[in-house]
Amino acid sequence: MKLKFPLLSVLLLILVTGCKTTSENAAKRLSETKECFDCDLTGENFEGADLSGAKLNGSNLSGVNLKGANLSGAILDNVNLSQADLSGANLSSTALTQANLTDANLTGSDLTGAFLRGAILSNAKLTKANLNQADLNAAQLEGADINGASFKEAIMPDGSVQK
């Protein structure tokens, strides 16, 4: 049987099987362009990477290693960073609106001026993290370890400002 519409067949095949970017391709694209919207980067290793200004809205970064990475000024709105290692990372002025940081390790990270409005930080490790001037309005901090963390001039979940 000869197909009369080969292009239509190819398009139908793509629709049926999906056309998702593989984790490897997404990681490569992120490293090259610093942009990867709605990408699945689960478990990838970006330790020490310079991702300053990266745009990752809606991406899945659960279990990712971002230890010591530079994410300053990045846009990570609606990102899943559950169980990610962000210890020692630079997240200053980073947008993390509605981000899921459940069980994430943010020990010693710099979140100065970060925008964490509505973020979920349940059971996150924020030991010795710098959250000065961060916006945590409506953020969820249940079970978070905040020992030694700094919150000077931060907007807290209830809307109050720390002195």
Could you report the per-residue pLDDT of 121-163, keeping only the tens digit for each? 999 999 999 999 999 999 999 999 999 999 999 999 998 887 7
Question: What integer pLDDT is reported at residue 83 of this predicted model?
Answer: 99
Question: What integer pLDDT is reported at residue 21 of this predicted model?
Answer: 52
Tokens standing for 7?
């292009």
pLDDT tier for residue 17 given thresholds of 50, 70 and 90: very low
pLDDT tier for residue 4 given thresholds of 50, 70 and 90: low
- What one-letter code names the amino acid at 134? A
Domains plus CATH for the chain?
A: 21-163 (2.160.20.80)
CA distance linking residue 128 with residue 140, whole number of Å: 18
Q: What are phi and psi of 8, to 5 degrees?
A: -65, -40
Tokens standing for 35?
């942009």
- Model confidence pTM above 0.85: no
98 close to 115: Cβ distance less than 8 angstroms = no
Residue-wise pLDDT for 27-46, tens only, equals 788 878 899 999 999 999 99
